[in-house]
Amino acid sequence: MTGTTLDDYTDRYARRVRGMTASEIRALFAVASRPEVVSLAGGAPYIAALPLDAVGEMLGRLGSEHGVTTLQYGIGQGTLELRERICEVMTLSGIDAGCGASPEDVVVTVGGQQALDLVARLFLDPGDVVLAEGPTYVGALGVFQAAQAQVAHVPMDADGLIPEALEAAIDDLARAGRRVKFLYTIPTYQNPTGVTLSEERRERVLDICERAGLLVVEDDPYGQLGFEGEAPAPLRARRREGVFYLSTFSKTFAPGLRVGWILAPHAVRDKLVIASEAQILCPSGYAQAAVATYLGTMPWRQQLKVYREVYRERRDAMLDALADLMPEGTSWTTPAGGLFVWASLPDGLDSKAMMPRAVAARVAYVPGTGFYADGTGTDAMRLNFSFPPPERIREGVRRLAGVMEQEIAMRRVFGAVGGAGGRRGRPGSDVPGPDLA
């Protein structure tokens, strides 16, 4: 076979592979990891805040004293010990036995990403539609794309997903004869905006989905990382049926262990386990034992408080730097928890086109286009505050502001650079209805 493209296997791939593209965040990692670059791009937790000596000793004992079991195959659903510990963790958020949370209905996954993929495998056929906030988590967009589903974005404002826009999207898609399977939502400290769905809207969103016969997939990686009081109760704490609750220990313990979970309606549990076994046979016994032992022997609730204080300080450093340094016309969200700020740019600036110049100035961020299925979002960027220390955050914002000032000056001299077709609207502003990708 003689190839005429860089990839000689192009005509052999399955149809579902067509259109797969690399995540804009992953593409940035090689650049952002350079020591001279201030990275505001990733979403890494500050692992150095853990008691690493104690964690290291614990991990060593799991291998030397319990390796016969921790290094062996396990069951597809995950160990009972860990599933019981997960139920204890969920109780902190209000998801308890009173609302149907049981170890029997928990499925352990390889991080939150596999949890998303399992739900997609069970419910999405090619051409189905998923409703999701606009913007939304880039990893979810990749999962839905791989399932050959389409995403309809529903606008947000400062109080989260707009219920009226959700109703309109459902009605519009029904009239067009499109099949919507579920709403995917990150209602608490959302990635990428940091916005939290208000208490009143949570009930309305659930009511709308129930009337429309839509499942709800609630992704909650950040709910226990609040800085300003308690977060509203998760959607799963309010409704038992039709709500899938996904979470992970990647943000509250260690992402390298890759341990997450799904709390599913009881009827679906077995199918999730079968799908997981087809993918991975069983989750890592060692990683599960590490998380279960950490939760059973170490002061993990106190560690959550440590993370909250660290991230609050860094959030404040970012907000102060943005207020002091950003050019006129820039706006941003004020997250009450989580890891991210969403910044909207002055008119005419394009976050994707500006990225090479930012890297040249030794600062990295994620362009807003990565969080929309249809490539819009050029007027925004995601900024992470969890990993860099406060002084680096301020330096990164200073460098970024300098790049933006240069872009504004160039625009004044030469006119618009790049296209403005990707503008999408900002939290709290008038925004267009959902678009299908």
Please give the domain boundaries of the chain with CATH numbers for all domains: 17-49+302-413 (3.90.1150.10), 72-297 (3.40.640.10)
Strand partners, 151: 130
Mean predicted confidence (pLDDT) in 267-295: 97
Residue 27 banded pLDDT, cuts 50, 70, 90? low
Q: Which residues contact 405 (CB under 8 A, 6 or more apart)?
A: 327
Which pLDDT does position 16 carry in this prediction? 72
Q: How many residues does the chain have?
A: 437
pLDDT at 291 over 50: yes
pLDDT at 19 over 70: no
Which helix (H) or strand (E) segment holds residue 110: the answer is: none
Mean pLDDT of the residues in the chain = 91
Give the number of other CB atoms < 10 A from CB of residue 274: 12
Which pLDDT does position 433 carry in this prediction? 40
Q: What is the pTM of this model?
A: 0.91
How far is residue 381's CA from residue 352's CA, in Å, rounded to a whole number? 9
Candidates 317, 303, 253; CA nearest to 38 is 317
**Sign of the dihedral defined by the CA atoms of residues 320, 322, 325, 329, in that order:** negative
Residue 138 banded pLDDT, cuts 50, 70, 90? very high
C-alpha distances (whole Å) from 148 to each of 127, 142, 437 are 6, 10, 11
Which pLDDT does position 431 carry in this prediction? 37
